[in-house]
Structure 1
Amino acid sequence: MCSVLGCDIMVSALFVFGYAAVFIVPVLSCRPNEYKTNDGQCCPMCNEGRVVQRDYTAYSGTRCRFCDLGTFMNQPNGLSTCFPCTSCDTGHGLFVKRDCTATTDTVCDVLNGYHCKDLIDSNGCSLTEKHSQCAAGQRIKEPGTSRSDTVCEDCQPGFFSKDGVNCTAWKV
């Protein structure tokens, strides 16, 4: 069944004993700003920050509701639930850089002593790792940052490091 909104045609072929039977089946195609319901109807989408409370009917438009606290929707949609906001776990080296709103997810950043292992665009991080510790006999060549791990290097001959921080010359 095609609505006033339009339809595409799907062609299906069935091959039986070398003969082809062709079936033409209309397929409902919604516009870019619409979503398809379970019963195949096209309804106007809800805006960012909202989700569908009730589908479009002949008597009323799509009824949308705001996302609950702790959830968000960052795109026009035909969904019935908002996405849960990301939690920034300080126990895993993350802190809240920007709070979640009805239209944007939480942005997490990295605590001191950690570096990001999974960068989300240029703003946030979803997975961290503690900075590596240099071993005895090594020194810190480059300290760790929020975006890179510590770089260690071996002490030169005639130098030592028992704490893995700086190399010290042997006393003669």
Structure 2
Amino acid sequence: MLSTVFGCLAVFLTPGLCCQLKEYSTTDGQCCPMCHEGSVVRRDCTRQTGTRCIPCVNGTFMNEPNGLNKCNPCTSCDQGNGLFAKQGCTAATDTVCHVVNGYFCKAFTDESGCSSAEKHTQCGPGHRIKAPGTSRTDTVCESCPSGYFSLDGVNCTVWTLCSKTQPKIKEGSRIRDVVCGTASRQQYSYIAVILPLLTLVIKG
């Protein structure tokens, strides 16, 4: 019996310990029924009346039973940072944000939304896209292999093979193609002399 008395005294001296599930403790140590989702406390309960609740107004929400007197502000999806409202805010649910094309989510919310997004990485010259970016992952880039180059950072192209009449004058790299020269004047002169001779031989 004493333990029960002391237990009650402990409960009485520590406001809130008496309160049951879906009850909240007031400043004077009373236990009142919580307000439902979508509303907050307007007036605490008394011995004669229950808790007075008011609904959350536009731009605010409350997504759980509570003993609070203020609703939470709705999240704003920042389009400038790659977010848009996939689901609008209601009295009982917060806004659900999602990423726009060209961005991926860096931080997810409990409601399967996104709270922070970042623009997909642009692969630079000398690289190609190994894996395109998605709404959940960034772009994966990789270097072009030897013998290939990339100017735009999208795909790698094989180096040009110079012919015997167009000797290589500049070696290729990961960011530029091989540069081939043109046939020399001497070669053109040689061809110009040989062709008339061949014509005479054929006619003869």
CA distance in 1, matches of 2:12, 2:44: 25
Q: 2-side partners of 1:44 and 1:91: how far apart?
A: 42
Q: Is the 8 A contact 1:8 1:27 kept in 2?
A: no
The code of the aligned residue for 2:14 comes to V
Q: Which has the higher helix share?
A: 2
Distance 2:126 2:83 in 1: 31
| Partner Cα separation in structure 1 for residue 142 and residue 9 of structure 2 | 66
Give the aligned partner of residue 84 of structure 2.
95
Q: Write out per-residue CA displacement over residues 97-131 of structure 1, whole angstroms, 9 at most, x where no aligned residue.
A: 11111111100000000000001247210000100
Tell me how far apart the structure 1 counterparts of residues 61 and 54 of structure 2 sit (CA, whole Å). 12
Q: Which has the higher strand share?
A: 1
- Distance (Å, rounded) in 2 between the aligned partners of 1:37 and 1:91: 42
User: What is the aligned partner in structure 1 of residue 116 from structure 2?
Assistant: 127
Question: Which residue of structure 2 aligns with residue 66 of structure 1?
Answer: 55
Cα distance in structure 1, aligned partners of 2:61 and 2:42: 15
1:105 and 2:105 correspond: no
Deviations 1:137-161 (A, max 9, x none): 0000111000000000110111000
Deviation at 1:57, TM superposition (A): 1.3
Residues 1:25 and 1:62: Cα distance change in structure 2 (over 3 Å) = closer
| Distance of 1:80 and 1:86 partners within structure 2 | 19
| Match of residue 17 from structure 1 | none
Matched-pair identity in %: 61
> Which one scores higher on RCO, CA 8 angstroms, separation ≥ 6?
1
Question: Any unmatched runs of 5+ in structure 1?
Answer: 1-6, 11-23
What is the rounded CA distance, in whole Å, between the counterparts of 1:79 and 1:27 in structure 2?
A: 19
Tell me what 2:29 maps to. Answer: 40
Calculate the aligned-residue CA RMSD, in Å: 1.7
Superposition TM-score, scaled by structure 1 size: 0.84
- Residue 131 of structure 2 is matched in structure 1 by 142
Correspondence 1:6-85 to 2 at 5 A: 8=8, 10=10, 26-28=13-15, 29-85=18-74
Any stretches of 5+ residues in structure 2 without a counterpart?
1-6, 162-204
Number of aligned positions between the proteins? 153
Distance in 2 of aligned mates of 1:155 and 1:107: 40
Amino acid of the residue matched to residue 110 of structure 1?
Answer: V
For residue 176 of structure 2, what is the aligned residue in structure 1?
A: none
